[in-house]
Amino acid sequence: MTRDRLRSVSRDFSGDGLRRVRDLVDQAARVAGVSATNAHNLVIAVSELAANAVRHGGGSGRIVIEQTGDGVRIEVSDHGPGLPEHLSQELPAPDAVSGRGLWMARNLCRDLHISSTARGVTVRLFMPRAESAA
């Protein structure tokens, strides 16, 4: 795919589309000049967010991928009930049944913002281009 074709991508997804989400993120990150390590981290983070959207957000979600001059921005959203008001940013206990996906995404991406309402959750994240590509 060319850089122009991936400049901005918006897709709805469900559980059977998570592999396609990962492929789109990987391809967009590499075309945007993100290092291989950071592209891998971004794929993991977005995969966790997308899986959360499917599991906790009504069975489906939407991903928006935008290449910028300095990297790639991604938004994952769902239409679920939102997140708890006092969501911990600490690593969940070993016996916790949930909470690791968002924790991992926070730790794998430099810039992550969460917007949560009773109508859904939107997570925006950014991964910069590799220094050598700038």
Domains detected in the chain:
10-133 (3.30.565.10)
By CB atoms closer than 10 A (0-12, 13-18, 19+), residue 10 is exposed
Residue found under tokens 């499917």: 54
Instruction: Kindly report the length of the chain.
Output: 134
Kindly report, residue by residue over 59-90, the tens digit of the pLDDT: 999 999 999 989 999 999 999 998 877 666 77
Please tell me the pTM assigned to this model: 0.87
